[in-house]
Structures are given as structure tokens and as C-alpha cells.
Amino acid sequence: MTNLPIILPRAEHHISRKQFDEMTLKVLYRLRGQNFKAYLVGGCVRDLLLNRIPKDFDVATDATPSQVKKLFRNCFLVGRRFRLAHIRFGSEVVEVATFRRHAHADDLPEDPADHHHFRENVFGTPEEDASRRDFTINALFYDIDSFAIIDYVGGLRDLAERRIKMIGDPLIRYQEDPVRMLRALEFAARLDFTLDPATYDGILHCAPLVATAAPARVREELQNLFRYGIAGAVLRSASETQLLAPLLGGYQADETTLRLLDASDQRTAQGEPAASEGFALSLLFASAFVQKSAKLNTLSEALPLSSTLLAGHCEHFHIASGIRHQARELLLALFRYLRGPGQRGEKRFLVHAAAQPGFELFRLYLAASGEGDELLNRWQQHLERHRQPDTKLAGSEETPKGPRKRKRRRGGKKRPAAAAAE
């Protein structure tokens, strides 16, 4: 049975084509000009309705990928599991997806090995496509032909009521893709929305399933939390719903860690660059490292501890040794700063690449742990006294030196004047 969609005509919403990317408009107009349906879909429609700037614009159409390719010479088909058309305009790419539907039993090929890829590429109607998406607020269409918003799943109501609601039965949808549980928490934090009760309860029931998700995908979603400045809010909600440990391979966060993440998010919200993956790792493990290293006296004792703390997480998520090394150096810098100024090897440490980001980690940790400002003030005064006029903390270039004298070459022939002038 087909449900009649809610149609919001142009006069009843504020979205204008002036807000669209120029290349996206070209794609929409050409599809419409060839009598295909051409819709904007997903997060861009949601964000425009919320007066937010979309990260990108996604196009949905009833044209098949091969038909899209025939319309655009600059089109490249990508993906085996989920076939998409990428239309390239220089460095810019407009992604075009064909409306999909859930595959029926009689649609599937005889060989079960082909079912996984086939079921993702069964084409359907806009209504069927909307029903396959994750949350109602991400399943809204903008029709370039009528300039209307089309809603098959109640997304406009949930948008107005600031609610994250799963399309369909959350228990089934989370089993299909456990990462949707993390995305539900992410959207709630990003948009300052609440979770629909069934969507929330589904996380409580299905939380252990997230351990089966691909580590690479979880790793990317985790780094997105730092990019958006919502790591503290999302991981706090993940901890409350018992999602955190299976999500991060058994990882647990204490209250100091969550406050530390909040402090980092606040820094990002104020316009500072988002935490790199190495810095994010140091934030996740700083509290545990400080607690376990409290009775250690030397850097050589703290070194194996930092490596051990990071090892399990980095191996689980296949994090490169270079990023692991950055996180370890930041934890060791934190150890140095917590011991106070005037320690052995300090002069060499303060020109190390980890000194400046390590000081930022130290500053954030003191604020999160509530240990007071006395040690921070001591360090600031100490650094001011010892900072040279033309140098900065590590990470900057060294003070320019005078021209280096060329060494005289021993033996050999004298270079011709013409060669010397080149």
C-alpha cells in the first residue's frame, strides 16, 4: 500500500535555489530536462530547513547509474556494494544515487554469494527509497521541478519537534547496521535533538551488536565526533546506554575523561582546529595514564606504560604506528608538565615537536581534573622567563641563524667561473 506523502509547497518553506551549489544545480536541471525525477535528498535538505549550511549536496533520481553516465561525459560509476554516479567538475564531485528499494526474495539471484551486493542495487520509487534510509529527518526530498519538500516518513514533524526517530523498527534496523546506534547519538548531539523513546530503547537492547561493526568504519565515525566538536556529549551518551565498551573494544571512560573531551569540544567550538587523531587518542587515555603513572619517577618508567595503554586500542582499529607515536609523545609530555618546571632535560624537551600540543593537553587536563591553576601558572611564568625573543614552543621554526660558511673543497679542479655563477 502506497502512503500519500506530505507535500510542502514552495510558498510554505524558505529553501531557495540560491542556497544550492552551482554544480549540483547543473546536475539537477539536466536530469529534469531529460524527463527524469531529480531530487535533493538527505542531510542537505534537513540542514537547509534548520538554517544550517550543508556539508554537501546529494542528488537522488529515477535514472539508473548507466543512464546518468550517458548524460554526463564527466561521470564515473563507483562502488560495487552500492552503485553510485560521481559527476566531476574539476575538484568538485556531485554524488548521484538511484532510488533504491528493499529486495524481495524472488529478486535475488540463485547464487547466495551474490545476494549481499545485489540487494543494495535494486532500484525503486522515491517512497521505497525513503523507507530504506536511517532517520526520518534524513529522508526528506526537495523536488527541483516543483520546488516542494516531499516527506514520506514524518520527517517534517520530527524536525519541528526536534526529535531523532528511526524509520521502521529500531531493533531490526540496528541489526541491519549497528553503527546506526552511534549515528543516532551523533545526530542528537550535533542538532541538539532528543531521541525518540523507541530509538533510544533500541540502543539499550542492541548495544552489544556494535562490536560486530567494521573497525575502520567506527574509527572514522569516532574522528567525526572530534571534527564536529561533540565527542564528549556522544561518548557520555554511549556510556549511559552501555554502547561505549563494545563500540571501542572494551574501552571505559571515567568522568575526568568525559570532562576532558568536553573541554576539547569547547575549544573546537571557539574556532580552534579540531583534534587530530593522535591528539584525540591522548585525550581518551590521558586520565588513565595520569592515574597509573602517579607513582612513577622517571620518563623511562612512563614510556612503557604509555605504549601499553595505547596498544590494544590501536591494534583493534589498525591505527598506524605514526599516529600511535604522536599520542604516546603527548602522554609523555603531559607526564613532564605534571612534574613541574625545572626537571632534567627540560631545555631539550621544550623544543620537541610534542611540547606545544602537549602543553595544550596539560592545560585541558588540569581544567577537567579540577586540580587548580597553581601548576599551570608556574609553568606559564617559567616559560615566559626562559623563552627566547625569536623562538616559540616546539612546532615552530627555530631562530634563524647567520649565513653558513661554505667549506673549502680539498683537492679537485677549480670550478669554472661560468659554473660558479649559475
Active centre residues (catalytic): 56, 58, 134
Mean pLDDT value across the chain: 88
- Provide the pairing of β-strand 149-151 with 140-143: antiparallel
Instruction: Give the span between the Cα atoms of 169 and 131, in whole angstroms.
Output: 11
Instruction: Give the span between the Cα atoms of 182 and 37, in whole angstroms.
Output: 32
- Distance, CA of 158 to chain centre: 24
Instruction: Give the span between the Cα atoms of 309 and 335, in whole angstroms.
Output: 14
CB 364 within 8 A of CB 268: no
> Is the pLDDT higher at 347 or at 207?
207
pLDDT digits (tens, 9 = 90+) for 134-193: 999 999 999 999 999 999 999 999 999 999 999 999 999 999 999 999 999 999 999 999
pLDDT digits (tens, 9 = 90+) for 335-394: 999 998 888 888 888 888 999 999 999 999 999 988 767 888 888 888 887 665 443 433
Q: Looking at the domain 1-161, which fold is it? A: Beta Polymerase; domain 2 (3.30.460)
Give me the residue label for grid cell 615537536: 353
> In 228-265, which positions are buried (b, 16+ CB within 10 angstroms) versus exposed (e)?
bbbbbbbbbbbbebebbbbbbeebebeebbbbbbbbbb
Domain parsing of the chain, residue ranges: 1-161, 277-386
pLDDT digits (tens, 9 = 90+) for 97-121: 999 987 655 554 455 555 455 456 6
Sign of the dihedral through C-alpha 348, 352, 356, 362 = negative
Residue type (1 letter), 281: L
Q: Residue 394: its pLDDT value, please?
A: 36
Instruction: Give the span between the Cα atoms of 308 and 396, in whole angstroms.
Output: 30
Record the pTM.
0.84
